[in-house]
Structure 1
Amino acid sequence: MASGASLALRLAALHRQLPGRTRLLAVSKGQSAALVREAVAAGQRSFGESRLQEAAAKQAELADLEPLDWHFIGRLQANKARGVLRHFGTIHSLDSLALARRLARIAAEEGLSPAVLYQVKLRPDPAKTGFAAEELRACWPELASLEPLRGVGLMTIAPLGLDAAARLELFRECAALAAELGLTELSMGMSGDWREAAQAGSTWVRLGTALFGARPGGPTGPD
């Protein structure tokens, strides 16, 4: 576990390297509530989680703090939709029209208006889900009308094995698609490729190991 001092130094160093338009989403999945508390003390307010049960327990343990900005970044299962909506103000992984319809219905029942980013898959990758570009364009009239969801941007994850130039090309393609659809937020870039994502205009970089170090028990997925 990183000490409070080293965590604060890492956080400050990362913020110095990010362009002004790019915000840091601290990927706290697999990290303790105590470590999140240290990050909050160092000035971090936005955190990303991918497991509902883990996140809910962590949020309860941190309930004495001022409300934090919680983002859901994992694969969203339909049967977890209500719980995710109750615990997260922003969802980065809306990857199908069917799921969007479900979220809109439940959000209306719950009186919620979450910000959502549509996950796009712009390169072949059997490990990832998401809208293809043409699929997203075809669905867009309905997606844009699905109240009370607030569609704010796109999210993408670069496949493993791409070099820096290929990652930059991918991220620029995602940024162009977002601009075409009138979306302003871009969730692109993780600990291994955030520099290319920031160069391409990402507004959120999702950083876990770059900020906290390795997760206890080893990796639980990319960040």
Structure 2
Amino acid sequence: MTESKQPRSPLATRALENIDAKLAILQLWVATGIPFVRNDAGRCICNANDELELEYFPENVLAFSRWTRESAKCPFTLTQHPTISTFRSFSRSTLDTEDNKTKKTEVDVRLTEIADKAKAQLHKANPKSESTEAQSAAAQMQQLNKVLEHEIGKYREQARVAIEERNEAMALNKRQKQYHDETVAKLKEQLSTLRSRQSNVVPLNKPKTGTATSSEGEEN
């Protein structure tokens, strides 16, 4: 025998009804389009940027839980969708309970769908804005290209200077080596000359051979 679920409290029941009412409006707008902000006569009006503007819709779970009639941007929406006037705020944690897991998933799906719908509507209704975005993206890309070209030029200059410094260092090293080689060669030549002269020098205390023989003859 399975255990029966505990009956919902009146507060939980009202919260669930509130959630279902909000989901129904989102589902309707996904299917037919999000209302544009209109005047009392029902004509679409533009914002300060001369663009059509969509009626308020929640973009996340917290906004969904706080969605009430005060969120509406124009009274015309309330006349066309009177259900919104019944919306009440509820605790976000309501959707985190075990009993409302499925409902939480449905809310997440509807929020994704309504965001995609809004993006598509605005691009279609405000082609000028879309063109402006494209121009802005192109301008940003052009600016990025300039920055990259500047960086490339800077590193090329640094590479050129490094090559020049390396070549100068190599040339200096070559000159120093040549100077050292020439100095060593001169010193070797001087040493060779000195040794050659030294071999021809007779010590003063060493008697000559011819002089010694002559002295011996006189004594005899």
Common fold: TM-score over 0.5? no
TM-score range, shorter chain: under 0.3
- Say which one has the larger Rg: 2
Q: TM-score, normalised by structure 1?
A: 0.25
Q: Which has the higher strand share?
A: 1
Considering Cα pairs closer than 8 Å and 6+ residues apart, tell me whether 1 or 2 has the greater RCO.
1
Q: Hey, which of these two has a bigger chunk of helix by percent?
A: 2
